[in-house]
Amino acid sequence: GAGAASGADSLGLTIVGQPPRTHARGSSQASGARPAAGAGDGKHKEEDEFDPALSALYFSFSSMKGPDGCKVPLKNRSKVVKMLHELGSKVAQPICRWFGLRYNFFSEHHPQAKKAGVTVKEPLVLRKKNAEGEEIEEIRHLVTIRLRLRVHPTKGDPNTSFISKGTQLAILLHELCHLRHMNHGKDFMLFLRDIFAHARKLGVFDPAALGNEIPSPWPWENEIFRRGGDVGDEELLQLFAQHRAAQRSARQLAESEDQAPDAPPEAGGAGEAAPCGCAAGDKGLGFSLVRAFSAAAACVGCAAQGA
């Protein structure tokens, strides 16, 4: 109702399809923050000069930790903001309008984060009075989608290298699917197929021209990407069942090996770091999803075996 809408407005919420209000950010991490050290240099200033309208709408990180643990300024923040704007305006918003999805904020995920994408849902309690004058509470969620557009430090220099367009879309479309389905079950799979198909129809995704540097741990998701959503229910459900069966067999084998006496440790065990920065066995897209049931949010790794 109007009361809920006004309450949301007072908290600075924005909804897909509605222009968000321009507002200043107080955090030094915000995209509109003062330039990092070295901005006095003409070339550096030109690289990181922000469009005022865009910098107020998209959050970007200003620094990361160096090898010695000290903060290192991040360059090319204007490029990050422009990438976010292009993905948001040309991909996320049209898809959300078509499928009736909603999110509030779209921002950068930290370049040193293990996961390539994250969807955060924070509880929002709106209090209002009903027709009888009784105060009632309405639970909504403040939803933020974050994408790690810079390469992870284990893959290159986050200051100058960015993940490919195909990888950006693979992560973004996956996170948009989480706006409707939280777990990686059959419903998630079929809806993700529909999202990819619509992205192809919009002309923003071409499987023949795009690749994915961070393939999914699920065969069915890789097939959806490879064919741009042009795959039927029966084939996907078969891939889903086959992968589940393979997972069960792997778990049973691992359990039997754990029970074997004096089993020698295998090289490259669970503690070995994977190239993407995740623990071995947590390879692939490396998404992370956060569901907030209270003020303390609970994290669920999207790269874990599908539920």
Instruction: Give the global pTM.
Output: 0.69
| The residue type at 258 | D
Q: What is the reported pLDDT for 53?
A: 79
Residues counted in the chain = 307
Would you say residue 2 has pLDDT above 80? no
Q: Compute the average pLDDT of residues 8-22.
A: 42
* Residues 158-213 pLDDT 10s: 999 999 999 999 999 999 999 999 899 999 999 999 999 999 999 999 999 999 99
Cα end-to-end distance, the chain, whole Å: 35
Residue whose pair of structure tokens reads 């959050």 in the numeric block:
59
Nearest to 74 by CA among 27, 110, 40, 43: 110
Please give the Cα distance from 196 to 204 (Å, whole number): 10
How far is CA 69 from each of CA 64, 111, 157, 218, 288, rounded to the nearest angstrom? 9, 15, 16, 35, 25
Please give the Cα distance from 193 to 218 (Å, whole number): 13
Q: What is the reported pLDDT for 56?
A: 81
Nearest to 120 by CA among 276, 302, 304: 302
Q: What is the reported pLDDT for 38?
A: 44
Q: What is the reported pLDDT for 55?
A: 80
Average model confidence (pLDDT) for the chain? 77
Determine the distance from the C-alpha atom of residue 237 to the mean position of all C-alpha atoms in its chain, rounded to a whole number.
Answer: 25
* Residues 215-239 pLDDT 10s: 999 999 999 999 999 999 999 999 9
Supply the DSSP symbol for 107. E
The residue among 118 and 31 whose pLDDT is bigger is 118
Which residues 6+ apart lie within 8 Å of 216 measured at CB? 170, 174, 222, 225, 284, 285
Please give the Cα distance from 82 to 159 (Å, whole number): 15
Determine the distance from the C-alpha atom of residue 274 to the mean position of all C-alpha atoms in its chain, rounded to a whole number.
Answer: 19
Which residues 6+ apart lie within 8 Å of 275 measured at CB? 154, 155, 283
What are φ and ψ of residue 56, in 5° steps? -80, -15
pLDDT-based confidence at residue 22 (cuts at 50, 70, 90) = very low
Supply the DSSP symbol for 295. S
DSSP symbols for 113-150: -SSSEEEEEEEEEEEEE-TTS-EEEEEEEEEEEEE--B
* Residues 113-162 pLDDT 10s: 999 999 999 998 988 888 888 899 988 889 999 999 999 999 999 999 99
* Residues 37-66 pLDDT 10s: 444 455 545 455 657 778 888 999 999 999
* Residues 75-119 pLDDT 10s: 999 999 999 999 999 999 999 999 999 999 999 999 999 999 999
Q: Compute the average pLDDT of residues 255-262.
A: 73
